[in-house]
Amino acid sequence: MPNAVRVLLATLIVLCCVPAGLNGATVTAPDKGAVRVGLLDAHSGYYEPEGQDVDAGFRYFLATHDDELGGFRVEIRTADENGDGALASAQQLVQVDMVDAIVGLVRSSDALLVAGYLADHKTPLVIAGAGADALTQSDAQKNFTRVAHTSSQDDMPLADYLCKRLAKRTAAVVASDGPSGWESAGGFARAYTDAGCRVVQEQYGPEGGDWTPLVAKIDPGAQVVFASVGGIDAVPFLGAFRASGPKTALAGDGVLTDERVLRDEGESALGTVTALHYAATLPTSRNGAFRHGYESLGGGPVSQYVENGYVAAAALSAALAKLPAGPIRSDALAAALREVQFEAPRGTVRFDAFGQVVNDVYIRRVTQVGGRYRNDVIATYHAVSQFWRYDPQRYLQFPPYAKLKGTWVRPKPST
């Protein structure tokens, strides 16, 4: 675990144990009992940084809310989703630790692996990272709620922005070769082509691989390059793109320039346009207090995963506030989660009938201000659903994006 995250988590654990009140006085509130929450995050492997951010965001909410959620005292149990071990970790939390709800899961394959088990046990699950579309579409369950975007959700507004507002009529698509990459590229390509523009190239690269050969093959005739490349691949991809890629506009999913990697990307990220449901630069008092408060504890910049963890805690808090004191019924908590609406650092949060978050999506451009690189908001799409502007029932009839991989290139219209 990075030292900055170790320091932050240690600080938050201490803060969660300090009674809140003016001048150090203890505030006594009605005690509704305890809620036991399992944090099932990546604590090792490729997605460890994102998992640690989700954990830190959740704990930061507790530290600033008297270590309570909706009037219930909070007991935390932690487990590592850790690839093939994700199911065993989920079983530990449910059957041994007896948690009332599980929060986390940053890797889609891990979330899909444990989804059936958690559905069978009716354990409320608040997904704070994994974007697999199926989790809130074909495989949606009444006990699932997701505060993170689906893999395709935020990229459909970006397609509209590039095609209609910037008049970038042709795009080359580059993405990680996995479910999240296929869905991100697919959501972008569908919305882009339906808006009247054309995908001229589609390429996929392996996670943790060498991006230089793939970048060298990007069609220089495309007016924009859309890239869905994140995590530890974002920095080398951007470096390769600036060194040997086409001298054209670069846009992408928000993971490409997430605050977790933006500092290391530096100048290579300048001018890159991305779409995401959160921007650290949002000029609202709520977001300013959240960002400054978190960063003052030494946890580093606020990434989307920190905010996801924080919003997961806020959603649980709002739902638990609707429940009576005493033992928590899992069905009541799951139902309450679907019904909440509240203000978060990202803006207004609510959920659709499938448990997927509906919120604003921000189009951002990387700039440098005072020596610091940041994602400045240049456009906002309000209340974006996982189905974008499509009829939900029609959208659910589309083939999965995994099956559409490699099919998005369209020939140039004949004149």
Backbone angles phi, psi at 407, to 5 degrees: -115, 5
**Based on the domain organization, do 120 and 88 belong to the same domain?**
yes
**Based on the domain organization, do 214 and 339 belong to the same domain?**
no
Backbone angles phi, psi at 74, to 5 degrees: -110, 130
pLDDT of residue 98: 97
**Based on the domain organization, do 272 and 299 belong to the same domain?**
no
Q: Is residue 412 part of a domain?
A: no
Q: What is the CATH number of the domain that holds 179?
A: 3.40.50.2300
Predicted confidence pLDDT, tens digits, the chain (415 residues): 454 555 455 555 445 544 333 333 333 356 899 999 999 999 988 889 899 999 999 999 999 999 999 999 999 999 999 877 899 999 999 999 999 999 999 999 999 999 999 999 999 999 999 999 999 999 999 999 999 999 999 999 999 999 999 999 999 999 999 999 999 999 999 999 999 999 999 999 998 899 999 999 999 999 999 999 998 999 999 999 999 989 999 999 999 999 999 999 999 999 999 999 999 999 999 999 999 999 998 778 899 999 999 999 999 999 999 999 999 999 999 999 999 999 999 999 999 999 999 999 999 999 999 989 999 999 999 999 999 999 999 999 999 999 999 999 988 887 6
The dihedral formed by the CA atoms of 257, 135, 205 and 241, expressed in degrees to the nearest 10: -20
pLDDT of residue 14: 47
Q: Which domain holds residue 43?
A: 3-149+282-351
pLDDT of residue 127: 98
Question: How far is residue 190's CA from residue 399's CA, in Å, rounded to a whole number?
Answer: 12
Q: Is residue 414 part of a domain?
A: no
Q: Is residue 415 part of a domain?
A: no
Q: Is residue 63 part of a domain?
A: yes
Q: Residue 336, CB half-sphere, CA atoms under 13 Å: how many?
A: 20
**Based on the domain organization, do 342 and 374 belong to the same domain?**
no
pTM (predicted TM-score): 0.91
Q: Is residue 309 part of a domain?
A: yes
**Based on the domain organization, do 15 and 61 belong to the same domain?**
yes
Q: Is residue 188 part of a domain?
A: yes
**Based on the domain organization, do 127 and 165 belong to the same domain?**
no
**Based on the domain organization, do 173 and 256 belong to the same domain?**
yes
The dihedral formed by the CA atoms of 406, 407, 409 and 415, expressed in degrees to the nearest 10: 150
pLDDT of residue 31: 82
The residues that bridge with 372 in the sheet, in sequence order, are 369
Total residues found in the chain within this entry:
415
Question: How far is residue 367's CA from residue 98's CA, in Å, rounded to a whole number?
Answer: 47
**Based on the domain organization, do 388 and 249 belong to the same domain?**
yes
**Based on the domain organization, do 268 and 385 belong to the same domain?**
yes
Q: Is residue 410 part of a domain?
A: no
Beta strands, E only, 289-371: 342-344, 347-351, 357-369
Q: Is residue 409 part of a domain?
A: no
**Based on the domain organization, do 113 and 21 belong to the same domain?**
yes
Q: Give me the number of domains the chain comprises.
A: 2
**Based on the domain organization, do 237 and 381 belong to the same domain?**
yes
**Based on the domain organization, do 373 and 242 belong to the same domain?**
yes
Question: How far is residue 288's CA from residue 371's CA, in Å, rounded to a whole number?
Answer: 19
